[in-house]
Amino acid sequence: MNRQELLDLLHQYTPWELLHMQNLDNLEYMDQINLSLKVPVTEAEKSFGLHLPHVPDASNNTFSEQLFFTHGSMQEIQIVQHDRYTPPVLHKHDFFELVYVYEGEFVHQISSRKLLMHTGDLCLIPPEVYHSLDVRNYSVILNILIPQNKFRDLILKEVRGHSLLSRLFAASGASPGYFLFHTCGETQIQQLILDMCLESLNQEPYYLHMIHANFLLLLGLLLRHFSASCEFPVSDDQKTSLNILILQDLDKNYASITLSELADKFHYSPQYISNRIKQITGMSFSDYLLQKRMQTASDMLINTNLKIMDISKAAGYQNPEHFIRTFRKYFGSSPGAYRDQHKILL
């Protein structure tokens, strides 16, 4: 698929969008019509490129990472086109979402605030923040989805030190929370996002690397040209700074740090630090370290030729047998099989 074909696809209406367009004044029709179709809308839409039809968990209006990111999948950044002519549905998610207006405008409600977003606007929504998109028109909206652990690595490692980006992660869980960049349709930003769409659809060799590289470049351009005009709610700077320091220390010392050592370093009780980590990341201290160690091991298995024993030590496991058992339980395969499988995919 080339760029023109992508643009044609982005402007083509899906069956679900057509149903919405024909029933804008009747919000009760959707489930009944979908059930009456010979081919359910969710099945029919699978051929429509970037559309991934999902509905939030009705019990708490939540989209979970599991809906968009398969456990062990290598594609950690997903690009999804928002359905047009759809009523707003208040929801939250446990990943980061970057909402980009390629064309048009819509009303974006974030907690109790309503923002009118125009062509070129990008709005980053942290996890656990309720929001809704009122796109009852022709607008082309693209959503870039990033799991918490991936976004954390980007902020705390690859673009470490930028005060605005530090706020982006440390504000996770705050309410309301958003970071709105006005790019005014800046061409380079637009082309980068389209390139990410093409890489995701075409899946040519090294497409995962290209998506990652383009996303980093996108962040760099936003910081260089638009951070000064970025809109975001005022937060508790002291609390935000402590969150950043805790996360940076965890990411630096994940292979050996204990909860007691971390608590002593920041002069708080282990219970307080444990609760703080749960609030920031949505995970317990032990679960956070496990995820970090497994991610480190995964990256090293795929991108290096190091022996399993060396990777085990680098991930914080002095006993290779313990590492192998833990890795197998987490990913469903041995480190060696995982390396073989994903090196072929890349």
Is there a single domain that holds both residue 313 and residue 277?
Answer: no
Is there a single domain that holds both residue 161 and residue 251?
Answer: no
Walk along the chain (346 residues) and give the pLDDT tens digit of each residue.
Answer: 999 999 999 999 987 788 778 776 665 555 555 555 555 556 656 557 788 766 555 566 788 887 787 655 667 899 999 989 887 888 888 899 999 999 999 999 998 789 999 999 999 998 888 899 999 899 999 999 998 878 877 766 665 555 555 555 554 444 447 889 999 989 999 999 999 999 999 999 999 999 999 999 998 898 888 887 888 775 555 556 677 778 778 878 889 999 999 999 888 899 989 988 888 777 899 998 998 899 889 888 988 889 999 999 999 999 999 999 999 999 999 999 998 887 644 4
The answer to whether residue 249 sits within a structural domain is: yes
> What values do phi and psi take at 341, rounded to 5?
-65, -45
200 vs 97, 117, 342, CA distance in Å?
A: 16, 25, 17
For residue 120, which of 203, 217, 221, 25 has the smallest C-alpha distance? 221
For residue 99, which of 86, 85, 75, 80 has the smallest C-alpha distance? 80
Is there a single domain that holds both residue 222 and residue 243?
Answer: no
Is there a single domain that holds both residue 60 and residue 205?
Answer: yes
Residue 15 contacts residue 44 (beta carbons within 8 Å): yes
19 vs 56, 132, 215, 280, CA distance in Å?
A: 19, 20, 33, 40
The answer to whether residue 126 sits within a structural domain is: yes
pLDDT score, position 346: 42
190 vs 27, 66, 123, 224, CA distance in Å?
A: 33, 28, 14, 16
For residue 132, which of 175, 90, 97 has the smallest C-alpha distance? 90
> What values do phi and psi take at 136, rounded to 5?
-90, 50
The answer to whether residue 13 sits within a structural domain is: no
Quote the CA–CA distance of 207 and 115 in Å, as a whole number.
34
Number of residues assigned to the chain: 346
Is there a single domain that holds both residue 240 and residue 337?
Answer: no
Quote the CA–CA distance of 109 and 116 in Å, as a whole number.
9
- CATH value at residue 110: 2.60.120.10
Is there a single domain that holds both residue 80 and residue 205?
Answer: yes
The rounded Cα 257 to chain-centroid distance in angstroms is: 27
pLDDT score, position 185: 86
- Half-sphere exposure of 2 toward its Cβ, with a 13 Å CA cutoff? 1
- CATH value at residue 317: 1.10.10.60
Helix (H, G, I), strand (E, B) or coil at 222: helix
The answer to whether residue 241 sits within a structural domain is: yes
Domain count, the chain: 3
Encoded tokens for 68: 């968009």
Is there a single domain that holds both residue 98 and residue 220?
Answer: yes
Largest CA distance in the chain: 63
Is there a single domain that holds both residue 263 and residue 174?
Answer: no
> What values do phi and psi take at 241, rounded to 5?
-65, -40
222 vs 66, 96, 103, 190, 195, CA distance in Å?
A: 29, 16, 19, 12, 16
Is there a single domain that holds both residue 82 and residue 200?
Answer: yes
The answer to whether residue 11 sits within a structural domain is: no
Quote the CA–CA distance of 45 and 344 in Å, as a whole number.
29
Residue 148 contacts residue 243 (beta carbons within 8 Å): no
pLDDT tens figures, 230-285: 887 755 555 566 777 787 788 788 899 999 999 998 888 999 899 888 887 778 99
Is there a single domain that holds both residue 63 and residue 147?
Answer: yes
For residue 289, which of 259, 328, 322 has the smallest C-alpha distance? 259
Residue 45 is classified by DSSP as G
Residue 110 sits in which domain range?
53-226
Q: Give the per-residue SS3 of 276-336.
A: HHHHHHCCCHHHHHHHHHHHHHHHHHHHCCCCHHHHHHHCCCCCHHHHHHHHHHHHCCCHH
- pTM of the complete model: 0.69
pLDDT score, position 98: 95
What are the residues whose beta carbons fall under 8 Å from the beta carbon of 46, sequence distance 6 or more? none
- Half-sphere exposure of 233 toward its Cβ, with a 13 Å CA cutoff? 22
pLDDT score, position 246: 84
pLDDT score, position 4: 96
Burial 172-188 (b: 16+ CB within 10 A, else e): bbbebbbbbbbbeebee
